[in-house]
Amino acid sequence: MNPKVKKIKDMFDRSALKANRMEAVHYCSKTADEVLIYDEIFQQIDHLLSFTKDDMVLEVGSGSGLLLERIARKVKTVFGTDISANLLNLTPAMDNIVLKQMEAQNIDFPPETFDKIVCAGVFQYFPNKEYALKSLQEMVRVCKPGGKIWIGSIFNAYLKDVYVRHFQNKNLSFPKRLLTLLRGWLKNEKLDYLFLYPYEFTEWAKILNCRSCYVLLQTSQKTDIYQRMFRFEVFIIK
């Protein structure tokens, strides 16, 4: 396992011990509105993918199942994968949810298994572009011809400087910023996010012989403008 991936796995394994599903995946306050946030995310994805009762769906990096359980209500079967078994264990039990621990770059399913594939808020944790491309290649491999792939919350390399200035400097006072850095150092949880350019996905989709690839901006009014401006989504039809 790549050292950075191992670090992320260990980080989420520890975070999952809190047993709060929102905190485990977002390091956020328990007061964060899970329903408000994830109902909206699901609606946006469903608008693009049009889930049906006959669909076999895969969510790569399903975490504690916040999105997975919403998908499960509309499809035949949904498989959730994650590198952290502890996170997967927080997923509510449902008859049509199947959970498997695995890495995104090595998806252990036969080719052309799934009608639709979802991957939300995962690519920023990948160690490099090669890992990101291999993971996308795996998603395309296990997707049926004509199937749909949605990848969300990708950190936009064009706006990396905006992210660094705003989120790492301006949002926090100096004492709080110092405390955050210290905590990250002590827990070995300082993250070096992967930023990707939108054009890289369109190029990768061509290399992988996908029918089409669309890059979408995040437009939710419920998130901070900086959250919306430095992230994008990708919608691919195989």
pLDDT in tens, 92-143: 999 999 999 999 999 999 999 999 999 999 999 999 999 999 999 999 999 9
Phi then psi for residue 117, to 5 deg, are -135, 135
**What is the per-residue pLDDT across 57-79, written as a single tens digit (0 to 9) for each?**
999 999 999 999 999 999 999 99
Q: In this predicted structure, which of 3-17, 107-121, 199-213 has the lowest mean pLDDT?
A: 3-17
Question: Contact 133/123 with Cβ under 8 angstroms?
Answer: no
Domain boundaries, the chain: 3-237
Q: What is the pTM of this model?
A: 0.87
What is 3-237's CATH number, 3.40.50.150, 1.10.8.60, 4.10.910.10, 3.50.50.60? 3.40.50.150
pLDDT exceeds 90 at position 170? no
Distances (CA, A) of 215 to 11, 45, 106, 156, 200: 30, 14, 24, 11, 10
How is residue 168 written in tokens?
Answer: 């790492």
